[in-house]
Homo-oligomer: A and B are copies of this chain.
Amino acid sequence: MVPPITSEPVTTPFEFDAATDLTRVTGVDDRSSGTVHAGAVHDGWDIMGNANGGYLMALAAAGMRDTSGRPDPVTVTAHYLAPGPPGPATVHSDVVKQGKRFATVTGSLRSAERELIRVMGVFGDLASTADGWTRMDGAPPDLPPVEECVVRSASQGVAPAIMDRLDIRLRPGDDAFQRGAKTGSASITGWFSFADGRPIDTLSLLLVADAFPPPVFNIDIPAGWVPTIELTVHVRAVPAPGPVACRFATRFIQGGYLEEDGEIWDSTGRLVAMSRQLALVPL
């Protein structure tokens, strides 16, 4: 049999694009006047069966971004309501305000009749921003080249499935927790790339903001899992090609709560995102 002539080359989408692929649906949700997108919480983006919080935020933001009609998330806040096992999911979004420069959008990611996260975001066009006044009191983390850093691997006997999708390289020393040791400093720095080479865009920075192991793994705290209550990511610029340099740190553990702050810098040394989450210290 003669194979059919195809006019388009067969391409495999990048894994992150497949995992955040959504179809805009209309009229399926009688309870809301908003926009509905259908997709799925994909398998393989989880830690012990529950999808990574940054991935869930990116999935919801993909729908919200489409609803906003703008190219970039600027500030996105997610509240985590229920763990997200793999399965069909919908993103429900509503435009709160369409302004000249920004669109403010609320979103809700639901799976199996359960709301996983509630999200609020501002979307805009970060590429069109004039540089204007620049003043940086801080710099990217001091990292050796990617190939001299340590591959993120299993720790405490657990190899999160998501690690197959991501290429995270830790600064030598910051990988102590992977070797059953501790640095004594609640800080982890390293490079982030996608394992399949997908370029890092503003949407995927939402994933990066929650992709590293919790920095408290490097101090003597009896915590294997740090449940996020709320995560806010400020996307500050469109990343240049190449891996991003990341710094995550926890400064204050008190009363059962901790914050985790992140900075993400692109390969040209430009700040592309800041993140902060409030999380629970497991008792």
Interface residues of chain A, those whose CB is within 8 Å of chain B, are: 74-75, 77, 79, 81, 96-97, 102, 104, 106, 115, 118, 120, 122, 126, 129-138, 186, 219, 221-222, 229-230, 232, 234, 236-237, 250-257, 259, 270-271, 274, 276, 278, 281, 283
Contacts and interface: CB of A to CB of B under 8 A. Distances in A.
Contact of A283 (B130, B252, B254, B256): B130
Given A96-B81, A135-B253, A255-B132, A229 B281 contact: no
Contacts of A257: 74, 129, 234, 236
Contact of A104 (B81, B126, B276): B81
Contacts of A229: 74-75, 102, 122
Given A137-B251, A237-B254, A132 B281 contact: yes
A112 B134 CA distance: 38
B77 A232 contact: yes
Given A74-B229, A96-B118, A234-B278, A255 B135 contact: no
Given A104-B118, A106-B106, A229-B122, A221 B133 contact: yes
Contacts of A270: 254
